[in-house]
Amino acid sequence: MRMAIKSFATILFTLFIVGCASGPKYSEISPSISEVTPDKGRIYIYRTALLGAAIQPEVKLNGEVVGKAVPNGFFYVDRKPGDYKITTSTEVDRHLSLLLDKGETRYVRLNIGMGFFVGHVYPELVEKDVGEKEIQKCSYSGNK
């Protein structure tokens, strides 16, 4: 019985580790991230919560997949000024609408809440100083 419990714990730990972002930390790569161009704005999307590590839905920006909700992960997108809708889907869709201006940087934290069958990942717009602080320990999970 003890062997079964140890094996189960090892499997859970492995799934937990595999489920987290493994790229370079924001603090390591931030000097190499180019400045946002004057005609665009930037949206950082990140997830600090480890709870529900196996739940990693796609993140869509105006219907286009731009990344995944990876625990302790972040990515960013540069877009022209305008209205944007960020969507995550598990058993339900969760949305956040935001306005992006020229040269502006916005921060969206992906939180997790309890659902009926699985957890829900939902986007939340946070103030710049909060986002800048929280993203420091996140690892890059994007494609750039």
Alpha carbon 27 to its chain centroid, in Å, reads: 16
Question: What pTM did the predictor assign?
Answer: 0.81
C-beta separation of 91 from 52 below 8 A: no
Q: What is the structure's pLDDT at 23?
A: 79
Instruction: Give residue-wise pLDDT tens across range 26-84.
Output: 888 888 889 999 999 999 999 997 776 778 888 999 999 999 999 999 999 999 999 99
DSSP 50: -
Instruction: Give residue-wise pLDDT tens across range 97-107.
Output: 999 999 999 99
For the chain, the domains span 2-140
* DSSP character string of 88-116: EESSSEEEEEEEE-TT-EEEEEEEEE--S
DSSP 25: B
Q: What is the structure's pLDDT at 70?
A: 93
Of 92 and 4, more confident: 92
